């Protein structure tokens, strides 16, 4: 199931939602601001083509590295490395490579910063593009899902 994290436009809190096409709005737990959403059967199937919040089609993907877990693991590995002669740091590097760099990706909407996890068509989504970001955020340009080709 696709996991969606909406950024509240009023207070900036992250709101976790599961796509359900009967749901038409999401309430912020912090400030009670209501965000209208438009989920489709595609979203329920984990396919990301259109943003349920701003209905744009421009997304980028990036590594979904959980910093808190990363820091804790690094501290543990660094302490253990005293007894393992640095092997624990090598192990951490491999864990990082396997778990975080390859498996976890997050798709993000340029326009409204909504995060999408467990996206089935993640491989189709492009990496972050500074020019696109600037044009969407500052000039409100709509690329309609067709990334810039350099």
Contacting positions for Zn ion (CB under 5 A): 8, 10-11, 13, 28, 30-31, 33, 51, 53-54, 109, 111-112, 114
Q: How far is the CB of 28 from Zn ion (least distance, A)?
A: 3
CA 72 to chain CA centroid, Å, is 22
Nearer residue to Zn ion within complex by CB, 98 or 137: 137
C-alpha span between 30 and 71 (Å, rounded):
27
- Nearest CA to 69 out of 100, 31, 114 is that of 100
Nearer residue to Zn ion within complex by CB, 54 or 77: 54
Q: How far is the CB of 1 from Zn ion (least distance, A)?
A: 19
- Angle of helix 67-84 relative to helix 87-95, nearest 10 degrees? 150
Nearer residue to Zn ion within complex by CB, 35 or 88: 35
Q: How far is the CB of 84 from Zn ion (least distance, A)?
A: 46
C-alpha span between 124 and 113 (Å, rounded):
19
């Amino acid at each position: 199931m696709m996991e969606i994290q909406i950024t509240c436009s009023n207070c900036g809190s992250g709101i976790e939602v599961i796509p359900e096409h009967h749901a038409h709005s999401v309430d912020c737990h912090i400030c009670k601001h209501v965000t209208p959403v438009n989920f489709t059967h595609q979203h329920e199937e984990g396919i990301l083509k259109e943003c349920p919040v701003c209905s744009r089609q421009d997304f980028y993907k990036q590594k979904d590295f959980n910093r808190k877990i990363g820091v804790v693991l690094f501290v543990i590995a660094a302490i253990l490395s005293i007894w393992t002669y640095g092997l624990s740091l090598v192990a951490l590097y491999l864990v990082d490579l396997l778990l975080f760099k390859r498996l976890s990706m997050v798709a993000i909407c340029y326009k409204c910063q909504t995060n999408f996890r467990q996206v089935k068509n993640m491989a189709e989504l492009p990496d972050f593009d500074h020019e696109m970001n600037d044009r969407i955020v500052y000039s409100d340009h709509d690329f309609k899902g067709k990334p810039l080709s350099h």
